[in-house]
Each structure stands twice: as C-alpha cells, then as structure tokens.
Amino acid sequence: MTAVKRFVQEHPNITAWLGLSVGFVIMLLFAAKDVDLLPTQLLALVVSCVALAAACVWIINWD
C-alpha cells in the first residue's frame, strides 16, 4: 500500500488519467451494452475514451 501511495504522490497526472479512463470506459460499456457493435468498433471507442481522458487531464493541468 505504501508503494501505491508513493506512486500517486509522484505521478498525479498518470493517476488522474488512469482513474478517468476507467470511469469513461465503464460508462461506455454500460451505455453500449444493448447496442450491437463489432469488437473492433468497441475497441475503437475504448481507445477514444482513453485518449479523451488523457486530453482532459492534460487540459486541466495547463497552469
């Protein structure tokens, strides 16, 4: 647990990106559960969500 705390303190942007990415992907999978998507389409949406989360964290940290 100490290693996790140290990682969060040393890398807050990566931690925020991971947390936001997980949230985005969970919401995406929940919203798309009744939609007939091909696996490649779903993968493209997941990759887009992760990229969007990275962009959000990057913009938030524009001091």
**Does the predicted model carry a pTM greater than 0.75?**
yes
Query: Does 21 score more than 90 pLDDT?
Result: yes
pLDDT digits 0-9 by tens, 22-55: 999 999 999 999 999 999 999 999 999 999 999 9
For the chain, what are the domain ranges? 2-60
What single string gives the DSSP state of each residue in the chain? -HHHHHHHHH-HHHHHHHHHHHHHHHHHHHHTTTS---HHHHHHHHHHHHHHHHHHHHHHT--
Torsion from C-alpha of 20, 26, 32, 34, nearest 10 degrees:
-160
The first and second tokens of residue 32, run together, are 């798309």
Query: Does 16 score more than 80 pLDDT?
Result: yes
